[in-house]
Chains A and B, each alone.
Chain A
Amino acid sequence: MTPLLTVNDLSIGFGANPPAVRGVSFAVNPGETLALVGESGSGKTVTCRTILRILPRSARFLSGQIALNLPDRQIDLTALGERAMRRVRGNLVSMIFQEPMRSLSPLHRIGNQVSEALCLHRSDGQRTPRRVAQVRVLETFARVGFPDPDRAYQAYPFELSGGMRQRAMIAMAMVTRPALLIADEPTTALDVTTQAQVLGLMKDLQRETGMAMIIVTHDLGVVANMAERVVVMHKGRVMESGPARDVLGTPGHAYTRQLFNAAPAIPAQTQAALPPANTDPILELKSVSKTYAVRGRNGWAPRTIVQACRGIDLSVQRGKTLAIVGESGSGKTTAARIALGAEVPDEGGEVLFHGPGGAAPLPVHLLDGPARVAFRRQAQMVFQDPYSSLSPRMRIIDALCEPLDIHGIGTPAERRDKAAEMLAQVGLGRDMMYRYPHAFSGGQRQRLSVARALMLDPSLLVCDEPTSALDVSVQDQILTLLEDIRDRMTLSYLFISHDLAVVARIADEVAVMRQGLVVEQATPDTLFHAPRHPYTRALIAAQPTPDISRPIDLSVVAQGAGSPQAWPEEFRFDAAGAPALTQVGDGHLVRAHV
């Protein structure tokens, strides 16, 4: 079989730097999916953008051939003029990008943006008339799963959810029936259940149209679910390539094996386990609710009430990790903010902090002014994005010493020693203190964030998705670090995440949240062994595992991730009422009528 696309000895450089892509070659057969796998900086995105020549101005094409072999003709993409290239883009080869919100213009209707792809390209020498284009777009909308294509045609991007926006992007790429679809991290910005559904949709469309796909991803689980062939890239070079079954089954290259070992996965075989005894809590949330009044469209419209948290009862045991898992909008971050005293719960909710040494519990929800500042010495936060949580204009030592400065602890010399000590704790050298954040990689920055959180010797750390902005191998290191310092410094964690695989590894107890409610709560082992709630089941089923023999079961995902009204009778809830959280086993709670 002649491959549809061949890339041969491709090298791309930026300015005077060493090439970002070095001698990359691969081929994609018609109707086949190829996955380009690698971590950030591996050159996978540059490679896929070179095919359509969508590169920053500073990029230099150093060598290589890219050829597109259609049934009737062969096109040399590297030799093509700009005008001819435009006829390839979006017509023969389409592309989907990572962030569906930012990849669509917020000012133009979805229908306008999608039908434009059709109107730009002539089929059989004829420009597609607008009327015909609209019919084709509406058909495509129906195909990619819009319940009401006409409405979607008239909608603006900000009126759609993330998953629906990515469906619109897929419709835009598919409407011209391209021979090749390039998807650059198409599901990285989506919730895990949405990711599963979007991946399923892409596969179905491929089966129907027979197009080839290139999926660029860092997630081996996505690869296992989608690809027939895999190309593993590292620092601009191809490390290993071949059929997915071989590469994923028996990885030949050491780097691929390293990626595998780092990738967190939900354990395949588990047994029920007992939760930590509720004897020595450090933090307790008691019937914590939070409602926000969202202002109406104008002065006259009534305010709408949003229930971010509804009656949450949770406790973090001393020296243990409680994880809150949920998708965006589930209320997990609000719960964390309330736990830190950054937000006040609604009337009736209580947040109690039990300091070390058996002192009387501190009512966090009642603190104000100086008392709240004092409380922050004991509870600190590690944030999601290590790139924006460190000021680029402060040296590391200043960032680290600032907490001590605020609380007036120690002399400058003592503060410096403390900073050096904490840097050693997170595995960084003393000599790094006088650098600025830009000199550090993402993983090192996250270590710095942890070090900063530790400067005040807190007993509780709230970690808000601390690894979701990081590459898998770095994610692995940070999780190891967090486990390590938890045991070494007897810390307790409240761990917020959307990633069950990460939680499976670090948590002692897991609470699954959906629409402000805790729907299931158990130890990770129990949860993965015998999940009871349809939503938990959907979350587990949607998690892509780097194992070809365990594909995502979309029917489970679709049922659990849908609206609560679509759940089986005993689990249903709405804004007015919900079943109580009921004990179904040892330390296993499910929100259901039993």
Chain B
Amino acid sequence: MEILKYAIYRFGTMLLTLLVVSALVFFIINLPPGDYLSNQIAELRATGQSAGVAKAEFLRQEYALDRPIWEQYLIWVGFWPGPQGFYGLIQGNFGWSFEFDRPVAEIVGDTLWLTVLVNLAAVLFVYAVALPLGVLAAARSRTWVDYTSAFVGYLGLATPNFLLALILFYYGHRWFDLPIGGLMDPAFEGEPMTWAKVKSILLHLIVPTFVIGTSGAAAMMQRLRANLLDELGKPYVETAIAKGMSPPRMLTKYPLRMAFNPFVADIGNLLPAMISGSVLVSVVLGLQTIGPTLLTALKTQDQFLAGFVLMFVALLTLLGTMISDVLLVLLDPRIRYKGRGG
């Protein structure tokens, strides 16, 4: 029950943080002078297309861009009645993209889920690789196992992601007949989910997951190794050996549990690093993730689109930290019972 209370409390603070983030995001996007429409109007005026100007003026009013900035913000979030009444983010209206001349929801729709999918796969990859390798490197520290894994790890850290992507594409296609680019066969785009489509997506995911996850896995592995080595020197390890435990059982029950905390706490940091770090990879690999969209939107001052994408990334980050916080409380009784005794 205690844990549920804590989860609710953390959820509450997460919502508050999200509110602060939304304000920051909105004002920072609006810091450069002008907006998409006023830029467009100026351009239309200069080229003498007055019909376009009228449409742009209409849009300016329609999206309340003529109002003061704080009012714009409140309308965007949905706390203030705009031209359509209370209709903002919290009411499910993600705004209009001027650049693409379509609702934001329509543009990002599919890419949102693909982004989540790619990054989730990458996070799982990071953990699946870092956990066994890190433990192995610590358990066999200062042997060839340790040195080899460290070497491979640093190679992974040092290779630029886009380069790795290109290399993998070439050899993946040549040797394993892996598909090149995109997140699914073009034939399935816009089609309803079918078994074949899922299969195609999974097949396309292999290379991106590997590319995005490698450096994270290498860093995580080294961290886990260092933490575990610290723990292996602690007296409770000696106690466990003196009890007659076998090394693998002892290792997994005691020091690994202790070394797990930073491992879990990293979930929150991993997500945003991957999303912003994978923009270049997405461009190179032609992935339909949210990264490239964000880049375009920021360049053209397409404020509603950029704002929504940033909010989405923030939400993922906050969800990640919340999950890791709750997991930590579950994992570590010292956090759970702090202040109760001793």
Contacts and interface: CB of A to CB of B under 8 A. Distances in A.
A94 interface: yes
Given A88-B244, A89-B244, A103 B341 contact: no
Nearest to A158: B342
B236 interface: yes
Interface of A: 52, 54, 86-91, 94-95, 97-99, 102-109, 116-117, 120-121, 156, 158-161, 169, 172, 294-299, 301, 304
Interface residues of B, number: 28
B106 interface: no
Contacts of B245: 86, 116, 120
Interface string B230-260: 0000111011111111100000011001100
A101 B35 CA distance: 62
A87 to B, nearest CB: 7
B236 A103 contact: yes
A104 B239 contact: yes
Interface stretch (B77-85, B221-229, B314-322, B329-337): B329-337
B258 A107 contact: yes
Contacts of A99: 235
A90 B235 CA distance: 15
B30 to A, nearest CB: 34
Nearest to B5: A298
Contact of A90 (B236, B243, B334): B243
Contacts of A158: 333-334, 337, 341-342
**Which of B6, B238, B239, B241 has the most chain A CB atoms inside 10 A of its CB?**
B239
Interface string B161-181: 000000000000000000000
Contacts of B9: 298-299
Contacts of A301: 339
B341 A97 contact: no
Contacts of A297: 337-340
Contacts of B238: 54, 97, 103
B146 to A, nearest CB: 13
A10 to B, nearest CB: 19
A298 B325 CA distance: 14
14 contacts: A88-B244, A90-B244, A91-B244, A94-B242, A99-B235, A103-B236, A106-B236, A107-B332, A108-B254, A121-B244, A156-B334, A156-B337, A161-B342, A298-B6
A295 B243 contact: no
A184 B27 CA distance: 64
Contacts of B239: 95, 97, 103-104, 169, 172
A516 B334 CA distance: 27
Given A97-B238, A105-B258, A106-B334, A172 B244 contact: no
Given A54-B238, A159-B341, A117 B334 contact: no
A161 B235 CA distance: 18
> Nearest 4 pairs between A and B by C-beta?
A90-B243, A89-B244, A90-B244, A297-B339
B336 to A, nearest CB: 9
